[in-house]
Amino acid sequence: MKPSLLWIFGSLIIAAALSTFCFSQAHPLPGPDVQQIYQRLLPQIDKIPAFDHHAHPGFSDDPDVDAMAAPPDASEALRTRDDNPELIAAAKALFGYPYADLSPQHAKWLVAKKAELKKQYSGTAYFNMILDKINTESSVANRAMMPDYLDPNRFPWVFFADSFMWPFDNTRETARNPDEGVYIPLQEKMLHRWMKQENVSKLPPDFDSYLKFISRTLEDNKNKNGIAMKFEVAYFRPTTFGDPTRDEAADLYARYVHGGIPSEKDYRTFQDYIFRYLVLEGGRLQLPVHIHTAVGIGDYFNLSQSNVMGLESVLRDPRYHSTTFVLIHGGYPLEREAIWLAAMKNVYLDSSFGELAQYPSAFKDTLKMWLETFPDKITFGTDCFPYNEVLGAEESYWLGAESSRMALAAALAEMISENEITEARALELAHAYLHDTAVKLYGGRVH
Ligand SMILES: [Zn+2]
């Protein structure tokens, strides 16, 4: 029987529909084109000016680079050690470092080169020049205070809010382990700096005035170009927060404001209230709340008590829907779980530190999984930090940015090759991750 014209036409439509279906189905493995796609994407991704959502820029002799400090002799994961040879590649790329090692003799060359450049690029020009070299348009400066050598137009300030939770006698807190022996006195110092800033000579006698002092500090920090508040609270106590009443917190304040060592239970209850107060204030003042959510430095960091999932009851609490949360370090190494917290409309993830702790091959898998889950809720950051007087925030910036761009290109190349997304969509996702998603959180205050 001769097929009718209608039958042929019908078959063609079915064939076309089938081929569309085949085209749109994802494959489990990348094809042989994945290398080529990667090579094509990387230079385009390198050209995207980035917004670094989490970094600690500054010189190594500047104590305000962070509100806390690494405990002496803390273990460092392999790639984050200052003998990582990739940091020599960073010095070569940024400064034309001519040697293949960092022997003390050779290190002198690098120190002298940076000193010369600081003269040539005086004031704020030096770190602006570093940002230009790594194609970062602006970078968060998550610092205790801002120095005069960072340009506020390119380094928006994220200040620390933890210290309001430690106003009492901290003898017990400090003695818990050697790490807290370093951290807690620095929190006391930070609280006294906020008190000095607000002309408060001693803790107010009543709880209402204490809360007003906190709010005034936040408002003034916002006026001083602060774009967000940051918590490192995971270093100091568990990240599970109870929900005490204001009266309970006020009673505890009255009991301990003039002295006496709070029991651990009393102190945690008081802190639970202050943390939630700060979170609400972040909503009222449009100051996004950044929270350290990852394993941390120091051998006593308690990952099971202070991991990202401990925050779930706060993050999914509708009372805080006006507060924007940024989960700094994306919960690493629980980043698989953490991405599901971004189901909340007001919760975002920052990938910083993941790109330094992991090599690009592993970080690529992190990014890919995030891009396949909530691609519009993830942001780029380096967590750059000055290592020592030879290797500075400069090399750390370079390694973080390079690693992230490579891993991003590789993740997207696999997704294209596996038929998950088109190349055009991949570039949209790259812009969102490297710049646009984070910038949108600050209502025109950053670029
Ligand atoms: Zn950090």
pLDDT of residue 52: 98
CB 135 within 8 A of CB 48: yes
pLDDT of residue 151: 98
CA of 243 to the centre of ligand 1 (A): 27
Whole-angstrom CA distances from 406 to 174, 359, 403 are: 42, 10, 5
CA of 298 to the centre of ligand 1 (A): 14
CA of 56 to the centre of ligand 1 (A): 6
| Mean pLDDT, rounded, of the chain | 95
Give the predicted TM-score (pTM) of the model: 0.94
CA of 145 to the centre of ligand 1 (A): 14
> 348-387: per-residue pLDDT in tens?
999 999 999 999 999 999 999 999 999 999 999 999 999 9
pLDDT of residue 24: 82
CA of 247 to the centre of ligand 1 (A): 34
CA distance 209 to 216: 10
**Exposed/middle/buried for residue 96 (C-beta within 10 Å: 0-12, 13-18, 19+):** exposed
The one-character DSSP state at 3 is P
CA distance 380 to 405: 9
CA of 335 to the centre of ligand 1 (A): 16
CA of 55 to the centre of ligand 1 (A): 6
pLDDT of residue 68: 86
CA of 71 to the centre of ligand 1 (A): 15
> 96-122: per-residue pLDDT in tens?
999 999 999 999 999 999 999 999 999
CA of 401 to the centre of ligand 1 (A): 15
List the 289-292 sheet strands across, edge first. Answer: 141-142, 157-160, 226-231, 289-292, 325-328, 347-350, 378-379
Residue 72 pLDDT class (50, 70, 90 cuts): confident
CA of 195 to the centre of ligand 1 (A): 24
CA of 251 to the centre of ligand 1 (A): 34
Two tokens at 96?
Answer: 């034309």
Task: Kindly write down the DSSP assignment for every residue of 104-158, as one continuous string.
Answer: HHHHHHHHHHHHHHHHHSTTTHHHHHHHHHTTEEEE-EE-SS--TTS-TTTS-EE
CA of 356 to the centre of ligand 1 (A): 11
Task: Say whether 327 sits in a helix, a strand or coil.
Answer: strand
Residue 273 pLDDT class (50, 70, 90 cuts): very high
CA of 4 to the centre of ligand 1 (A): 70
CA of 53 to the centre of ligand 1 (A): 10
